[in-house]
Amino acid sequence: MGRIIIHVDMDAFYASVEIRDNPSLKGKPVIIGALPDQRGVVSTCSYEARGFGVRSGMNIKEAYRLCPEGVYIHPDFEKYKAVSEQLHAIWDSYATVSEPIAFDESFLDVTATAGDFDRAAEMAHEIKRRTREELGLTCSVGVAYCMSAAKIASEEMKPDGFFQIRTREEFVELMSGREVRELFSVGPRTAERLNDLGIVTVADIREHAKEVERAFGKHGAFLVGLADGIDDREVTPYRPEDAKSVSRELTFQEDVSDYVLIRDVILLLALSVEDRAAKYGLHGNGISVKITYSDMKTITRTRTGAPDDSAITIAKEAWKMLENLGKKPVRLIGVGVFNFGAKKVRQMTLDPEEEEVPAEEELAYFLEKMHKRYRFDFMKNREWMLRVDRLHGVAEHMRIQRMKTLSKHGRTH
C-alpha cells in the first residue's frame, strides 16, 4: 500500500485567533501586521479583507489604500505560538510522523494509523471537528497519496474545507489545465521562466519535459515528476537543531542615517540570535550582516572563524563588516549566525598585559551605555524585549529618543 498524507492548514490563522478572542471583530475586514502609519506588510488577514484585494505579504500602505475601513492589529506572536502548540498536539495524535511547516500548518503521515483512505478521511473530519470545538477555530484539510497532492487538496475548498486526491491519475486530471504557479516549488521567477518557454499550464510541463529538464536541470526533472503526480518526499519531523542558520532582522519605521543607533540595534539583534541559537544548543562560527538601504538596495556580508557565538562577539563582528559598507540611510538591518558545529573554546590572549574580558561583562558594559543613551534598562528587560513583537517597539523607542538627543544638540545624525 502507498502512503497516505494529511495536510492541515488553518484558515487566516492570526486573524481568526484575534476574532475568536474578540467576537466584535466577526464579519469585519481584520488585517494583522503593521499599522497603516507604519512601515511593514500584511502578515495575514480575514477573508472579509481579502474581498477588498488585501493579501499576505502586501505592503501595509497598499492594504490601507484598498481597505481603509479595515481593523488593523499588531501580531501577538506569543499568543499565536501558544495556540499553535495546542493545534499541533491535536493533529500529531493522528500521525506516526508529523512535519510542522509553520504555526498554522502541518503534514501528517497517517499511513499506519489510518490504514486506508476511508479512515484517513474520517481522521481529517475529526481533526476539523476538534480544532473547531476545542479551540474555536477552523482549518482546511487535504488527504492524498503524497505531500504535494495533500497540500493542493487542503487549498482546494478553503476556507473550512476538505478534499481528497487518492491517486496520481486524480492529481493529473485535476491539475493539467492549471497554471504552473500552482505546483509545489514553482515561485514567481520559475513561473516566469517557464512562461518564457511557452509553458503555461501543468500539462505543458509534461508535454515539454525534455525542454524543462534542459532549462532547469535537476529541479526541472523534479518539476516534470510533480506534473506527472510523482512526489517521493517523506514527511520529516522538524528539528530546530538541524537549522543551517539563525537570523533576525528589523525594519525601521523611518530610514536611519545615525550609525550609532544602527550599531546599538545590531547588538539587540545579536542578543536575540544568541538566545534562539542557545535554546537548541546551536553554535556557529559564521556571522552574517544584511542591510537594506532607503533605495531598496540590499547587501549581505559574511565572515567565518569567529572565536565564539556570544551576542557580544556576533555584534562586534557585525560592526566590523558594517564599517566596510556605505554610510547611506538604512531601511532594514539583519544579523545571523551559521556554519553550526561543536562549540569553539575562546582563545585566551598570550599577552599578560592584555586582560581578557568575559563576554557577559563586556555585554553589560555596552548595555549600560545604551541604558544612558536611550533611558531604557536593556539589562533588566533583556528577556522581555527579545520577543519579536516587542523588539520592534524597543527599536522604535530608541530611534525616537536618539532623534530627540541629536535635535537637542543641533544635529540630524
Closest alpha carbon to 8 in 117, 125, 115: 125
321: number of Cβ within 10 Å: 19
Phi, psi dihedral angles at 334 (to 5 degrees): -140, 150
Distance of alpha carbon 204 from alpha carbon 237, whole angstroms: 34
Closest among 160, 140, 165 to 150, alpha carbons compared? 165
105 among known catalytic residues: yes
Cα torsion angle, 319, 322, 327, 333, sign: negative
Map grid coordinates 476545542 to a residue. 134
Identify the active-site residue in 18, 99, 105, 274: 105
User: Would you put residue 403 in left (φ > 0), alpha (ψ -120 to 50) or beta?
Assistant: alpha
The Cα–Cα gap between 172 and 258 comes to 56
Q: Around 194, how many Cα atoms within 13 Å sit in the side-chain half-sphere? A: 31
Distance in angstroms (rounded) separating the CA atoms of residues 281 and 292: 30
Q: What is the DSSP letter of 346?
A: P
- Cα Rg of the chain (Å, integer): 25
Listed in sequence order, the DSSP H helices in 4-70 are 13-21, 47-50, 60-66
> Catalytic residue positions?
105
